[in-house]
Homo-oligomer: A and B are copies of this chain.
Amino acid sequence: MTTELLPDVLTGPLAELDAALPGAVDVRFAAHEVTDRSRVDAPAGVLAVVRPADVEGVQAVLRWATRHRVPVVPRGAGTGLSGGAVGVAGGIVLSTERLDRILEIAPADQVARVEPGVLGADLDAALAPLGLRYAPDPASWRVSSIGGNVATNAGGLRCAKYGVTRESVLALDVVLADGTLVSTGHRSIKGVTGLDLVGLFTGSEGTLGVVVGITVRLRPRPVREETVAAWFDSVDAAAQGLLAITAGTARPAVVELLDGPTLGDVDAHSGTSLAAHGDALLLVQTDGHGAEAEAAEVEAALAGAGGRTRRLHGDDAEFHWELRRTGRGPLEDELAVGEDVAVPLSRIGQFHREITRIGAAHGVSVRAVAHAGDGNFHPLLFADEVPGAAERLEAAADEVVATALRLGGTISGEHGIGTAKQRWLADELAPRVRELQAGIKAVFDPLGLLNPGKAL
């Protein structure tokens, strides 16, 4: 790590920052603190991880960075999957982990104000006694920060019904590259004054500013939740089941798809026997006052498409949802590429057939889960570490992404572009669109200091 190269006593610009923010400048950071969970290598040459304690500290860091032209990589909890929070050589990583206060919960207004370092699980724990909920629930919600969720416009399981992060963010306080603090948005549920900067910051992966305050919309916790599991003989059959749900009147909160290889992986890791029941599993959750009626409609639709359905209750239901979130095995010893494409709902079956074919053609293994309710696929491509395997994986990933685009989809449904998906950006965004985005970036960050080389 870079720490070996640094002297005990800080000098130059870092010494100045250290003096301004005592205890916040860390040059003895660990590798995992300047990378994320994307399997992007930790970079060499990161100067420091800086952890300001408050908004004024963030402003001081950015004023310093502007003065000395030091690149700044904003970082939440480091759970990203696209390399968005990976440090850059010659730059600092600006962690918001100490800005972790829930500033306000206002049940009557159905809003909460939080600092960016608050974890989803912590906000949820504070809201539960009030009968309220912050809807976005990325699978990482127990360990990812809300600031990071805003940076990637994170999705999750429930967004089929409740929308992605953007739909729950009402206002943002943001420190711009030069250290200026600006407030955008409003505490009211609605508002259309001027251009939608809240939406622009959301999903911008720290390239336009550092989010230091977030006003989120809250919703009542559902009065009831019902879980339906349905096993199918193939993903194609499960996709037909999904279309049968879509054609009906139910609007499930969650529709998750696990393919056969994923079921096998969960079984191997979690001691379950999911794969014995079929080659694809749909897990559906309905919620609210109509949960029972909607679940009954969903069961009928899935059975009509050949599904073997079972209603899951209580701990059994929660156990299956937790298997979906965290039941898969680790991949440390294999080469792997995880993708995050999305396709139109009608293309889910076709897309899965094609990625299976692509995997076979390139000699790599493929398994996939999908937030099927909104067409968001997470294919995992992996291979034993043998000569040529990395190249085959890359080639297969290229084809998987191209297939999603060909079917009318996108290269990233919810993880963001970071560095990991940079090479496909031009496949989705036309040159003129990228010019517009670069122009916007230059308005916010004329020196190009904020998360350079990411997202755009």
The residues of A with any CB-CB pair to B shorter than 8 Å are 106-111, 131, 152-153, 155, 159-160, 163-164, 166-167, 176, 180, 182-184, 186-197, 199-200, 202-204, 208, 219-223, 243, 246-251, 288-291, 293-294, 297, 342-346, 371, 373-376, 408-417, 421, 425, 428-430, 432-434, 436-437, 439-444, 455-456
Contact = CB atoms under 8 A, between A and B. Distances in A.
Contact of A155 (B190, B374, B437): B190
12 contacts: A111-B344, A180-B432, A189-B342, A193-B429, A194-B456, A195-B208, A195-B437, A196-B199, A197-B437, A221-B249, A290-B291, A436-B443
A455 B194 contact: yes
B108 A345 contact: yes
A376 B166 contact: no
A166 B288 contact: no
Contacts of A131: 247, 249
A442 B202 CA distance: 21
B433 A194 contact: yes
B415 A192 contact: yes
Given A199-B196, A346-B106, A189 B375 contact: yes
Given A289-B293, A440-B440, 8 more contacts: A163-B167, A164-B190, A182-B430, A189-B345, A189-B374, A190-B376, A220-B248, A289-B297
A108 B219 CA distance: 28
A81 to B, nearest CB: 12
Contact of A290 (B109, B176, B290, B411): B290
Given A200-B199, A223-B249, A194 B345 contact: no
Contact of A193 (B373, B425, B443): B425
Given A108-B243, A291-B290, A429-B193, A408 B182 contact: no
Contacts of A155: 190, 192
Nearest to A441: B195
Contacts of A456: 194-195
Contact of A289 (B108, B163, B200, B290): B290
A408 B342 contact: no
